[in-house]
Structure 1
Amino acid sequence: MANVRLRGITKRYENNSVIKGVDLDIADGEFVVLVGPSGCGKSTLLRIVAGLEDVSSGTVEIGGRVCNEVEPSRRGIAMVFQSYALYPHMTVAENMGFALKLAKVPRPEIAERVGRAAEILQITHLLERLPKALSGGQRQRVAIGRAIVRKPEVFLFDEPLSNLDAALRGQTRVELARLHRELAATMIYVTHDQVEAMTLGQKIVVFNGGRIEQAGTPLELYERPANRFVAGFLGSPRMNFLPATLAGVEGGRALVRLAGGASCAVAADVGAAAPGAAVTVGVRPEHLRLAGEGETHAIPAQVSLVEYLGDAAIVYAQVPGVEDMVALKRRPEEAGLQQGEQVRLAFDPAHAHLFDGEGAAFARAPSAR
């Protein structure tokens, strides 16, 4: 396997800049997920690593070798696309071994590699079938097997689960994680699905507008988002954002006044930010709760909808001065709220986030670490 090093990567199509100066290090054997909304440039970056797109500037290194001018077939990579692209007239075994046949690999070695890949993917019983006799999940495993037999230094996955239903996506995510552990392979995986990113990636790279917003472990990005974009992109339901103004600092906590007039405290270090500055309070649904009697810094709200999801209930409520409804995650037996009911909401200051007027996160106060 090999590491991947990207430095100063840009990509332009005439006057349209798609990738805007990306620097990224991917360690040997690491599973990295590039995640972001459609059109943010993540698939383009993957194709640049594969050699299917030329860079406008910057360098691509794979295994310590600069590959800018190296043909895709000589980069030591294998790519799995969203489309399975299997040859309909070939069996599973023939599809998996076709690239090796073109490379004039001896037949016994092709059979050995195909057999080993089939064992890893648990599709040995499908080797003699044609693609039309396979389910979507089975076809995707064949496409992955076609990559495995090539013994690449780096695996590239471009939204490979998008065509599968929800249940099959969950099952295939587990299989991909197992495959990574078994192969100890360097894998770069592109998706717009934050659940896939959080469950698969050892490192997540959040893309937006051709730039990296933040890179780190799933827990780092979830608990310490660098800005509002990352905070809102990861998590389901997404983080609640409450517009506010900075009122001051007390006991190491920032005091803020929400748009609707309520006040609350956040364990954040606001530095030199002046009172009256526009800020945004971010609270995840699992950290928002119903306020107790006499509790200070409670936020008035009106219940709009309660969604029961089996293991949880999501309560949506309207807060004065906040355009979007806020979400509160509770256990189903604790929901007990009716549409139109007036409630008071609260949160632990250590579990809230504070963002400045540009969307950048203030550092968490020492008491919140």
Structure 2
Amino acid sequence: MSSVRLHGITKQYEDNPVIKGIDLEIADGEFVVLVGPSGCGKSTLLRIVAGLEDVSSGTVEIGGRVCNDVEPAKRGIAMVFQSYALYPHMTVAENMGFALKLAGVPRAEIAERVTRAAEILQIGHLLERRPKALSGGQRQRVAIGRAIVRKPEVFLFDEPLSNLDAALRGQTRVELARLHRELGATMIYVTHDQVEAMTLGQKIVVFNAGRIEQAGTPLELYERPANRFVAGFLGSPRMNFLPGMLAGEEGPAVHVRLAGGSIVDVAADASRAAPGAGVTLGVRPEHLRVAEANEAGLPATVALVEYLGDSTIVYAQVEGVPEMVSLKCRPDAPCPERGARVTLAFDAGHGHLFDADGAALPRARLG
């Protein structure tokens, strides 16, 4: 397998810049997920790595070799697309081995590679079937098997699970993670689904408007987002955002006055922001809770309760805040009912502060 290095990558269609200066290094054997909203440039970047799109500027290195002018078939990559693109008149075995046949690989070796890939993907019993006799999940595994038999240096996945239903997506995520462990392959995976990103990626790269907002492990991005965009994109339900202003500090705790007049404490370093500066408080739904008796917090009215089985999501309107906030209750914990007047609270160490430009203020430790 090989590492991938992108330096200064830009891509522009006439007057429309799509990729705006990307620097990214992907280690040999690493599983990296490119995630972001539709139209942010992540699929275009994947196609640039594959050689299906030319760069406007910058360099693409695969295995230490500059590949800007190398045709796709000679880059040592294999790509799995959103559509399965299987030949309907061919069997599964013929579909998986077709590229090898075109390349002049001996028939015995093709059969060996196809059999091995089928064993890895647990589709050996399907080799003589044709695509019309397969489920969506089985077709996707055949498409992945077609990539495996080529023994590429790098696997590229472009939203491969988007055509599957929720249950199949979950099952296929598990299979992809197992495949990566078994092959030890370098994999670059594009998705707009943050659940896929959090569960599959060793490293997540969050895209927005053609730029990288932040790259790191799933835990790093979830617990220490670099800005409001990353904080709001990762997590379901998304992070709650409440406007406010700095009202002083005491030790590692910063006092924040929220719209509506409530004052809360957040463990943050506000040295780069003056008292009175506008900030946004971010609190994830699982860290927001109904306050105990006589505990200070945010007065709110419950607007909606969603029972999901493994958890309950409560939506509430906080006084002075235009958007509703959400909190996640455990199934064994009591939850307020619709219309209830409650006070919401959170621990200071679980709050995030963002300045007027959306950049995260450094977090501080309590105690």
Quote the residue 1:327 is aligned against: 326
1:25-73 CA-partner distances (Å, limit 9, x unpaired):
0000000000000000000000000000000000000000000000000
Give the Cα separation in 2 of the matches to 1:94 and 1:43. 28
Give the Cα separation in 2 of the matches to 1:292 and 1:335. 12
Quote the residue 2:76 is aligned against: 76
Dislocated runs of 4+, deviation >6 Å? none
**3-state SS, counterpart of residue 366 of structure 1:** coil
Quote the residue 1:42 is aligned against: 42
Alpha-carbon RMSD across the aligned residues, in angstroms, is 0.8
Does the 8 Å contact 1:5/1:24 carry over to 2? yes
Does the 8 Å contact 2:329/2:335 carry over to 1? no
Report deviation, 1:336: 3.7
Quote the residue 1:120 is aligned against: 120
Does the 8 Å contact 1:243/1:258 carry over to 2? yes
Quote the residue 1:367 is aligned against: 366
State whether structure 2 residue 230 is matched by structure 1 residue 227. no
Residue correspondence of structure 1 range 281-300 to structure 2 within 5 A: 281-296=281-296, 298-300=297-299
Give the Cα separation in 2 of the matches to 1:335 and 1:168. 33
Which sections of structure 1, spanning at least 5 residues, go unmatched?
none
Report deviation, 1:333: 4.0
Quote the residue 2:15 is aligned against: 15
Report deviation, 1:132: 0.3
1:209-230 CA-partner distances (Å, limit 9, x unpaired):
0000000000000000000000
Report deviation, 1:140: 0.2
Report deviation, 1:271: 1.2
Give the Cα separation in 2 of the matches to 1:322 and 1:24. 39
Does the 8 Å contact 1:313/1:335 carry over to 2? no
Give the Cα separation in 1 of the matches to 2:13 and 2:322. 37
**3-state SS, counterpart of residue 140 of structure 1:** helix
Give the Cα separation in 2 of the matches to 1:252 and 1:47. 46
Quote the residue 1:261 is aligned against: 261
Give the Cα separation in 1 of the matches to 2:3 and 2:271. 38
Give the Cα separation in 1 of the matches to 2:333 and 2:169. 31
Quote the residue 1:142 is aligned against: 142
**3-state SS, counterpart of residue 226 of structure 2:** coil
Aligned AA (2:315): Y
Report deviation, 1:353: 0.4
Quote the residue 2:308 is aligned against: 309
Residue correspondence of structure 1 range 1-369 to structure 2 within 5 A: 1-296=1-296, 298-367=297-366
Give the Cα separation in 2 of the matches to 1:119 and 1:333. 42
Report deviation, 1:282: 0.4
Does the 8 Å contact 1:31/1:187 carry over to 2? yes
Give the Cα separation in 2 of the matches to 1:2 and 1:323. 49
Does the 8 Å contact 2:285/2:328 carry over to 1? yes
**3-state SS, counterpart of residue 349 of structure 2:** helix
Report deviation, 1:323: 1.7
Identity, % of aligned pairs? 81
Aligned AA (2:135): S
Does the 8 Å contact 1:31/1:202 carry over to 2? yes
Does the 8 Å contact 1:2/1:63 carry over to 2? yes
Report deviation, 1:251: 2.0
Does the 8 Å contact 1:315/1:335 carry over to 2? no
Report deviation, 1:272: 3.0
Aligned AA (1:16): N
Does the 8 Å contact 2:349/2:365 carry over to 1? no
**3-state SS, counterpart of residue 207 of structure 2:** strand
Report deviation, 1:273: 1.0
Aligned AA (1:254): V
1:307-340 CA-partner distances (Å, limit 9, x unpaired):
1110111110001222211011112342342211
Give the Cα separation in 1 of the matches to 2:360 and 2:305. 30
Report deviation, 1:367: 2.6
**3-state SS, counterpart of residue 141 of structure 1:** helix
Give the Cα separation in 2 of the matches to 1:331 and 1:202. 28
Equivalences, count? 367
Give the Cα separation in 1 of the matches to 2:204 and 2:99. 31
Does the 8 Å contact 1:80/1:147 carry over to 2? yes
Does the 8 Å contact 2:41/2:207 carry over to 1? yes
Aligned AA (1:288): L
Which sections of structure 2, spanning at least 5 residues, go unmatched?
none
Give the Cα separation in 1 of the matches to 2:285 and 2:38. 25
TM-score by length of 1: 0.98
Give the Cα separation in 2 of the matches to 1:366 and 1:325. 29
Give the Cα separation in 1 of the matches to 2:68 and 2:227. 32
**3-state SS, counterpart of residue 334 of structure 1:** coil
